[in-house]
Amino acid sequence: MSLHGLGVPYTLEDTTGHLTTSDYNDTYDRMFLRVVPAMIAPNRPVLLIYDRGHRSRSPLTVPASIEGSWSGMIDLGTKKDLSEAYVVLGGPGGTVIPLKNYLKKVSKFGGSSLYRKFQALDSNEYRWQKCILPGQTWTCTNIFNQVVAHFDLKDPSEPIYDKMSSGNFFIIDEAYGQVAVELLATLILMRHIDQNKL
């Protein structure tokens, strides 16, 4: 399975490969997303996602306070099981959704924690799953089982061929650019669930 659209997909390089701080730059300068941590309260991990529209011209160390309005927020809560976690979509004053109502296991009867679905603000359902296709660490499909996005994390054991590239890429079908922030937010959550074995 590959991306099903006819356009040129957004090929976003994940500059660090880290969940909590990274830039996602499109190879053709059509999209630029930034993920940064925010201090809302002590011991409460919160991530902000900024949609800057074009490639970053500033380093990751630029404080979030000068970034302008964020487009998505992930509040992981204070409990390890994510029972308090929620997402905010659409920027400040946007839609607040508890994680348990947003990113659900596909199977109601147990099933893999690494196979989850969500309904995006475009009213369509999408599903994330880990390692179902060769070369793709994470794959997101629509209800027709068409790939709309995938994340390819470079294996640390692989040699570095180009010091200017991290080797980590988030690919989004061009037709789904309008839900890029949600795709990134849910990808971050899936990777967090995987890393913490939740």
Domains of the chain: 10-195 (2.40.160)
pTM above threshold 0.75: yes
**With contact defined as beta carbons under 8 Å apart, do 125 and 119 qualify?**
yes
Q: With 80 as the cut, is the pLDDT of residue 24 above it?
A: yes
d(CA 54, CA 35): 14
Q: What values do phi and psi take at 130, rounded to 5?
A: -95, 135
Look at the block and give the residue holding tokens 């659900």.
104
pLDDT > 70 fraction of the chain, expressed in percent and rounded = 84
* Average pLDDT of span 41-52: 89
Q: How confident is the model at residue 61 (pLDDT cuts 50, 70, 90)?
A: very low
Of 103, 109, 171, 115, residue with least CA distance to 145: 115
